Amino acid sequence: MSNPDTSDLSRRRLLQGTALGVAAVPAAGFLAACATSGGDADSEDVTNSGDAENPFGVDPAAPLDVVIFDGGFGDKYATEGHQVMYNEKFPDAEIIHATEEDIAATQQPRFADGDPPDVLDDSGAGKIAIDALVNDGLLAELTPLLEAPSIDDPNLTVQETLVDGVLKPGIYNGKVYALNYAMGGWAIWYDGKLFEDQGWTAPTTWDEMMALCAEIKKAGIAPWTYAGQHPYYLWDSLYTLAARHGGRDVSVAIDNLEPKAWEHESVKLAAEALYSLQDKGYVLKGTPGINHIDSQTKFNNREAAFLPCGSWLANEQIDVAPDDFVYSAIGIPPLEGSVQPELVWSSGEEPFVVPEHAKNKPGAYEYLRIMLSKEGSKIFAEKAQSPTILKDQEITNPPAAALASLVTTAENAYRPQLADWYIDFKEQAEPALAELMAGKITPDEFIGVAQKAADSVAKSDVEKFTQEY
C-alpha cells in the first residue's frame, strides 16, 4: 500500500474528524501554535548503540510520561504489565501515567506547548491525525527502535521479530513513525458454549451458514445481530465475502477506484448474501436501530448467535459477558466457488508514537522495545485479549488465539481502505450499506449507490491513493 501525500491527507482527516463530530483543532491553528512553542524545544537525537541491555542509553532515574487511549483495550496491559516491566529494569524511574478517551482534546495542546508525553497511544475517534504530526516534524521516526537488538534474542533486530508487512500502516514519507501494536482484524463471533449446548457446528461455507441460521431460528434465537447505527461494522462482511469469492484483486480494484469495480459479479453475490439475512428473517428484531454496545450486549445475552465485530470485542464486553461465555471466531463463510476462501481483514492497529520533543526519548524507545518482547506481548494478549504484531508469539488468551488462528498466511491478510481514504465515498455509501442490511434497498440499488459514489470521487480533484500488496 502506498502512502498518500501527507499535507492533503492531514487536511482531509481533520475535516473528516469535524464531520464526525470530533473536536478537531483546525490544521492552520494547530500548525501555528506548534511553530511558536514546540519548535523552540530541544530535540534529543537518539541512536542505537547495539548494546542489548541499554541500546538507547536510558537515564535510569529519568521519569517516563505515558498516555494510553481509554478504549476497547483498556489500560491494564500498560499499568499492570509494560510499566511494571519498565520499572523492574529502571526502579528509580517515575512513570507518569494517564488514560484519555479523547486524545486530540487532551494531547494536542501539549504538542502545541512543546510539552508532549514521551509515549502516546494515539487511537480512537478523537486521535490526532498522525500524518499531520509527521508533516509538522512533531514525531520521531522509529528506526533506532526497529534496528535495536530484540530483548528476547539479541542476534535479531526488533524489526526481524515482527510479522511481515505490519509496519506499512505506520510508514509516512518512507519512514516508520507509528507502531501499530495490536494485530487487529474483523471476524464473525459466536459463543462456543451456546453452540456446544445446542449441538451446532460453526459453518464453513455460506450455504452452511444459511442452513444453520434456519436451525437457530427454530430454536428461538436470532441468528444475527450487528451495530445498526454504525454500518462501518458491516464493511468486513461485504468486502470479505466478495474478495474471498473473486480474490483480493476485487478489493484492490475497489480501493483504486477502477471503473465498474462495484459491479463485479463477486460484489453482487456478496450483497445478495447479506441482504438474504434480513429477507429470510435471520436478523434480531430492532437491530438496524441499535448501537455497537447494544448489539454486543444482546450477543452476550445469547439473544443472537452471530455478531460481526473487531478484535476489541471481548475486552470491551469484559464486564458484561457471562462467565461461561466462550468467544469463538470465524471469517465470514465463503460463497460457493470462492477462489481465496481464507482471506481475512487483518492488520496492525492501535498506533503508538514517540514525539520528537519528548523529554525522555531514549526511555520511550526502550518502553516500546519492552512492549515488543515476548513477555510484553503475552501481557497484552492476556489483559487486552488481542494478539500483537510480534511473530510466533505465545497466545494463551482464548479470544486472542481464536482471532490469530484465522490468519493463515500473509497472502490471506488484507485491509480495504476506500472508506478511510475518501470521506465523500463513506458519507454516501455507508448509509446505503445500512439500508441494504435493513432490507430497505435491494442489492442492485446498493451497488448503484456505491458505484456512483466511487465514480464521483474518481472524477473529483481530491488526491488519489493506490492500494498495493
pLDDT in tens, 200-256: 999 999 999 999 999 999 999 999 999 999 998 999 999 999 999 999 999 999 999
Q: Which amino acid type is present at position 377?
A: S
H/E element, 18: helix 6-19
**Phi-psi label, residue 94: left if phi above 0, alpha if psi -120 to 50, beta otherwise:** beta
pLDDT in tens, 414-423: 989 888 778 7
Quote the percentage of the chain above a pLDDT of 90.
68
Instruction: Report pLDDT for 33.
Output: 35
Domain 64-184+347-408 and domain 187-346+417-459 have a common topology: yes
Instruction: Report pLDDT for 180.
Output: 92
Rounded CA-CA distance 3/352 in Å is 18
Rounded CA-CA distance 366/58 in Å is 8
Evaluate whether the domain defined by 64-184+347-408 bears CATH number 3.30.70.890: no
Residue 164 DSSP label: T
Q: Are 346 and 184 in contact (CB under 8 A)?
A: yes
User: What is residue 292's three-state secondary structure?
Assistant: helix
Q: Which amino acid type is present at position 359?
A: K
Rounded CA-CA distance 427/232 in Å is 11
Rounded CA-CA distance 271/294 in Å is 25
pLDDT in tens, 256-301: 999 999 999 999 999 999 999 999 999 999 999 999 999 999 999 9
Return the C-alpha torsion angle 285, 286, 287, 290, nearest 10: -150
Check pLDDT > 70 for residue 20: no
pLDDT in tens, 146-186: 999 999 999 999 999 998 888 877 887 778 999 999 987 89
**Domain extents for the chain?**
64-184+347-408, 187-346+417-459
Q: Are 307 and 241 in contact (CB under 8 A)?
A: no
CA atoms within 13 A on the CB side of 110: 20
C-alpha cell at 343: 482471506
Rounded (5°) CA angle 386-390-393 = 75
List b or e across 205-221, with b for residues whose CB sees 16 or more CB atoms inside 10 angstroms. ebeebbebbeebeeeeb
C-alpha cell at 107: 494531547
User: What is residue 65's three-state secondary structure?
Assistant: strand
Check pLDDT > 50 for residue 13: no
Instruction: Report pLDDT for 43.
Output: 66
Q: Are 331 and 240 in contact (CB under 8 A)?
A: yes
Q: Which amino acid type is present at position 417?
A: Q
How many other CB atoms sit within 10 Å of the CB of residue 55? 24
User: What is residue 403's three-state secondary structure?
Assistant: helix
Check pLDDT > 50 for residue 7: no
Nearest to 132, CA basis, from 43, 265, 209, 28:
28
The architecture that CATH gives domain 187-346+417-459 is 3-Layer(aba) Sandwich (3.40)
Instruction: Report pLDDT for 310.
Output: 87
Q: Which position has the grid cell 479523547?
A: 102
Higher local confidence (pLDDT), 158 or 12: 158
| 3-class SS shares of the chain: helix, strand, coil, % to 5 | 45, 15, 40
The CA-to-CA distance between both ends of the chain, in Å, stands at 6
| Number of residues that make up the chain | 469
Instruction: Report pLDDT for 141.
Output: 95
Higher local confidence (pLDDT), 347 or 192: 192
